[in-house]
């Protein structure tokens, strides 16, 4: 009898565990995807520009390469803090989590989040414009990447998102809710078209 | 003992001998691995032992195809068959050797980086041993090997593999994985010697850029991806953007500094080369696949992966078209092209210029779907 009770209890705990797993996944899709985002209507940002990573994926380097190709002048630092802002007037944070990238940078996800919060708060205090970008599409979504999205996008003045990474409306929901202009593009290469329009 | 017992014993003995002869022949035949035909730019076929003689007369020695252009230029190295159960790696190397016309610089191609691993397979996985595809000269048969060095050549495995020189500890079986053995050492085990030979080639020939071609199971997170050493990230970023513009979904990752033994870490640290590794999706790997077969290996098909795609378990899209060998080789060969183009932009005096190698469009996008799964790839092979 005792064995039967134990087995039933164990089964109950397992079912509860599964339910707990399910609830975490549904949190990211609980954002109302019906919110309409508004694209950028006028230039607001100024050079000099500092580009950093938000999660240590290599997407920030690809954005930097694209900016270089179209002649935009920028500094790049994947581990920038507020002390590195210098004379920058715009901070671009390219969001995307990568466990390999975090390993390469010698930082864990919590440390990266703390760095970004300190950097963005410092930038806001110093009056910099903050542009959040998510260019890695679906491959840069999931538990690790999602951890960085809200803290960065909520504080941005403008957002650029590759639409394949926003099918659940997480980023468009944040932007529409906070009145942040956001442009959706179909591939990272379109950054070269929309980003210059943000600069005076 | 009665007469009947003698007859039964004799019959059992004969059956045992027949099985032994059959399996023995099969076992020994695995030591013969098919080699590429020489393409238009192959000027020399050397052996890895020419750079490190500690490999001479071992099963770790392997052919190195030298494709030298008429004009001076830089040097590139293509590593196929690091893992001999990842066929798009060595089939891309075959295709490059048999089709490339090198105009400037030198390209070194090693089709079987771990030659020993090509001489056995993983029977416990139910893996195939061979696959055959039609080519310009008729049907050609290729080997399907193992991820690790043949235990005939290196045995036993330690309980814990301690990487040299980092002292990183890994599972004992990884001691036979050449992509955990770099930079290698001249007095190490056979796998470490092979890795050392590759590093010596790079150092001696001043190889500016090195490609390591891999495949991964669809449920592995780092897939349809490029991993680059930090000194290659500028080039990798530029090449990756070109691949994305060309319609190839490619993620870029920087090599972690704390994961040792891999080409993208150690060849960048211990030589002057820019080390780049590429991964494609292989349906014959992974735990979520169905029974192993040729349709997985070169067709890239698996109905269980289709089910797992619906369940959200995979990191690459997987439908009834799968990921045929033409798509996987096309990704690798287009990747080599774009990353070398980016390398040339950064190093115009050491440019490596070649043509004639089919890329993603020719191998996959523009192919008749009915010919995918080996026949179309074979049409480019001699």
CB pairs under 8 A between A and B: 68
Strand order of the β-sheet with A90-95 is A75-76, A49-54, A90-95, A129-134, A158-162, A182-185
Q: Which of B236, B257, B315 sits opposite A104 (nearest CB)?
A: B257
pLDDT of A31 higher than 50: no
Rounded to 5 degrees, φ, ψ at A188 are -60, -30
Q: Does A103 sit within 8 Å of B252, measured CB to CB? A: no
Q: Which of B238, B240, B254 sits opposite A101 (nearest CB)?
A: B254
**d(CA B318, nearest CA chain A) in Å:** 14
Confidence class of residue A35 from pLDDT cuts 50, 70 and 90?
A: low
**d(CA B193, nearest CA chain A) in Å:** 27
Query: Left (φ > 0), alpha (ψ -120 to 50) or beta: where does A6 sit?
Result: alpha
Q: What is the pLDDT of residue A34?
A: 52
**d(CA A62, nearest CA chain B) in Å:** 5
Q: Does B227 sit within 8 Å of A65, measured CB to CB? A: no
**d(CA A102, nearest CA chain B) in Å:** 8
Pair A182, A172: CB distance under 8 Å: yes
Q: Choose the mutation target among A63, A100, A145 for the interface with B, i.e. most B CBs under 10 Å.
A: A100
Q: Choose the mutation target among A79, A109, A139 for the interface with B, i.e. most B CBs under 10 Å.
A: A139
| Interior angle at CA B146, CA B140 and CA B149, nearest 5 | 120
Pair B91, B377: CB distance under 8 Å: yes
d(CA B169, CA A120): 39
**How many CB atoms are located within 10 Å of the residue B165 CB?**
10
d(CA B174, CA B158): 9
Confidence class of residue A138 from pLDDT cuts 50, 70 and 90?
A: confident
Q: CA-nearest residue of chain A to B243? A: A189
Number of H helices, E strands in chain A: 7, 6
Q: What is the pLDDT of residue A187?
A: 87
Q: What is the pLDDT of residue A10?
A: 66
Number of H helices, E strands in chain B: 10, 13
Q: What is the pLDDT of residue B219?
A: 92
Please choose, from the candidates B65, B157, B171, B61, the residue with its C-alpha nearest in 3D space to the C-alpha of residue B116.
B61
Dump pLDDT digits (tens) for A162-182.
999 999 999 999 999 999 999
Q: What is the pLDDT of residue B63?
A: 98
Pair B64, B194: CB distance under 8 Å: no
Domains of chain A: 27-198 (3.40.50)
Q: CA-nearest residue of chain A to B232? A: A61
Q: CA-nearest residue of chain A to B233? A: A61
Q: Which of A100, A104, A189 sits opposite B241 (nearest CB)?
A: A189
Q: Does A106 sit within 8 Å of B257, measured CB to CB? A: yes
Q: Which of B221, B237, B315 sits opposite A58 (nearest CB)?
A: B237
Contacts of B221 in chain A (CB under 8 A): 99
Please choose, from the candidates B278, B345, B333, B374, the residue with its C-alpha nearest in 3D space to the C-alpha of residue B107.
B333
Q: Does B233 sit within 8 Å of A100, measured CB to CB? A: no
Mean pLDDT is lowest, of A15-19, A76-80, B55-59, for A15-19
Please choose, from the candidates A97, A102, A83, the residue with its C-alpha nearest in 3D space to the C-alpha of residue A54.
A97
Contacts of B230 in chain A (CB under 8 A): 104
Q: Which of A62, A69, A103 sits opposite B252 (nearest CB)?
A: A62
Contacts of B236 in chain A (CB under 8 A): 58
pLDDT by 10-residue block (mean), chain B, 382 residues: 84 96 93 97 98 98 98 98 98 98 98 98 92 98 97 97 98 97 98 98 98 95 92 95 90 92 98 98 94 95 96 92 98 98 97 98 98 98 98
Q: Does A101 sit within 8 Å of B253, measured CB to CB? A: yes
Q: Does A64 sit within 8 Å of B258, measured CB to CB? A: no
Q: What is the pLDDT of residue B1?
A: 58
Q: Does B6 sit behind a cis peptide bond, omega within 30 degrees of 0 on the bond before it? A: no
Q: Does A103 sit within 8 Å of B258, measured CB to CB? A: yes
ipTM confidence:
0.74
pLDDT of A70 higher than 70: yes
Q: CA-nearest residue of chain A to B235? A: A65
Q: What is the pLDDT of residue A139?
A: 83
**How many CB atoms are located within 10 Å of the residue B227 CB?**
28
Confidence class of residue A22 from pLDDT cuts 50, 70 and 90?
A: very low
d(CA B256, CA A119): 24
| Percent of chain A residues past pLDDT 90, beyond the cut | 72
Q: Does B238 sit within 8 Å of A59, measured CB to CB? A: no
Cα distances (angstroms) measured from residue B215 to each of B20, B266, B280, B312, B335: 34, 20, 5, 20, 14
Q: What is the pLDDT of residue A23?
A: 34
Q: What is the pLDDT of residue A8?
A: 67
Q: Does A189 sit within 8 Å of B257, measured CB to CB? A: no
The average confidence (pLDDT) of chain A is: 87
Burial profile A105-141: b = 16 or more Cβ within 10 angstroms, e = fewer:
bebebeebbebbeebbebbeeeebbbbbbbbbbebbb
Q: What is the pLDDT of residue B222?
A: 82
Q: What one-character-per-residue DSSP string does A1-64 give? A: -HHHHHHHHHHHHHHHHHHHHHHHHHHHT-S-TTPPP----S--B-SSEEEEEESB-THHHHHH
**How many CB atoms are located within 10 Å of the residue B96 CB?**
30
Q: Which of B224, B252, B257 sits opposite A58 (nearest CB)?
A: B252
Contacts of B241 in chain A (CB under 8 A): 62, 65-66, 69, 188-189
Question: Which residues of chain B have a Cβ shorter than 8 Å from any chain A Cβ?
Answer: 221-222, 224, 227-228, 230, 233-234, 236-238, 240-241, 244-245, 249, 251-259, 315
What is the arithmetic mean of pLDDT over A79-84?
97
Judged by DSSP in three states, B374 sits in: coil
Confidence class of residue A103 from pLDDT cuts 50, 70 and 90?
A: confident
């Amino acid at each position: 009898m005792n064995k039967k009770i134990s087995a039933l209890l164990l089964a109950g705990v397992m079912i509860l565990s599964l339910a707990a797993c399910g609830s975490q996944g549904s949190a990211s899709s609980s954002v109302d995807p019906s919110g309409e985002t508004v694209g950028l209507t006028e230039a607001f940002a100024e050079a000099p520009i500092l580009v950093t990573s938000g999660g240590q994926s290599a997407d920030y380097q690809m954005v930097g390469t694209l900016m270089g190709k179209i002649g935009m002048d920028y500094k790049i630092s994947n581990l920038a803090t507020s002390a590195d802002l210098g004379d920058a007037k715009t901070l671009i944070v390219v969001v995307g989590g990568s466990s390999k990238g975090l390993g390469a940078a010698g930082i864990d996800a919590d440390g990266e989040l703390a760095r970004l919060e300190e950097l963005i708060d410092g930038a806001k205090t110093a009056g910099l414009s903050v542009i959040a970008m998510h260019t890695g599409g679906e491959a840069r979504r999931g538990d690790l990447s999602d951890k960085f999205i809200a803290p960065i996008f909520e504080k941005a003045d403008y957002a650029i998102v590759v639409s394949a990474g926003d099918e659940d409306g997480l980023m468009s929901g944040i932007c529409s809710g906070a009145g942040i202009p956001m442009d959706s593009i179909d591939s990272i290469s379109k950054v070269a078209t929309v980003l210059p329009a943000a600069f005076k | 003992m009665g007469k009947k017992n003698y007859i039964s014993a004799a019959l059992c003995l004969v059956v045992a001998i027949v099985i032994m002869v059959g399996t023995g022949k099969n076992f020994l035949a695995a030591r013969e691995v098919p080699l590429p035909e020489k393409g238009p730019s192959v000027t020399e076929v050397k052996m890895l032992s020419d750079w490190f003689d500690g490999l001479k007369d071992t099963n770790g020695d392997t052919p190195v195809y030298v494709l030298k252009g008429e004009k001076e230029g830089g040097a590139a190295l293509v590593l196929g068959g690091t893992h001999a159960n990842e066929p798009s790696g060595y089939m891309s190397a075959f295709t490059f050797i048999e089709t490339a016309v090198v105009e400037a610089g030198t390209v070194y191609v090693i089709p079987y980086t771990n030659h020993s691993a090509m001489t056995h397979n993983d029977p416990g996985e139910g893996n195939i041993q061979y696959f055959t595809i039609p080519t310009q000269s008729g049907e050609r048969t290729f080997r399907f090997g193992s991820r690790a060095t043949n235990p005939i050549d290196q045995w036993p495995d330690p309980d814990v593999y301690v990487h040299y020189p980092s002292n990183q500890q890994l599972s004992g079986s990884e001691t036979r994985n050449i992509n955990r053995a770099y930079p290698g050492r001249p007095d190490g085990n056979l796998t470490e010697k092979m890795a050392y030979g590759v590093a010596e080639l790079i150092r001696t020939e001043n190889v500016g850029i090195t490609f390591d071609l891999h495949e991964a199971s669809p449920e592995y997170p780092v897939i349809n991806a490029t991993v680059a050493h930090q000194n290659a990230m500028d080039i990798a970023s530029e090449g990756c953007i070109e691949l994305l513009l060309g319609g190839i979904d490619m993620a870029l990752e920087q090599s972690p500094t704390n994961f040792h033994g891999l080409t993208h870490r150690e060849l960048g640290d211990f030589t002057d080369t820019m080390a780049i590794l590429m991964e494609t999706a292989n349906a014959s790997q992974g735990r979520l696949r169905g029974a192993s077969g040729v349709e997985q290996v070169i067709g890239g098909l698996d109905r269980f992966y289709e089910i797992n795609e619906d369940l959200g378990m995979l990191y690459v899209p997987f439908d009834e078209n799968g990921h045929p060998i033409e798509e996987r080789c096309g990704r690798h060969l287009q990747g080599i092209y774009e990353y070398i183009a980016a390398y040339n932009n950064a190093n115009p005096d050491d440019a490596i210029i070649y043509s004639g190698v089919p890329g993603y469009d020719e191998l996959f996008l523009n192919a008749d779907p009915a010919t995918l799964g080996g026949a179309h790839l074979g049409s480019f092979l001699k």
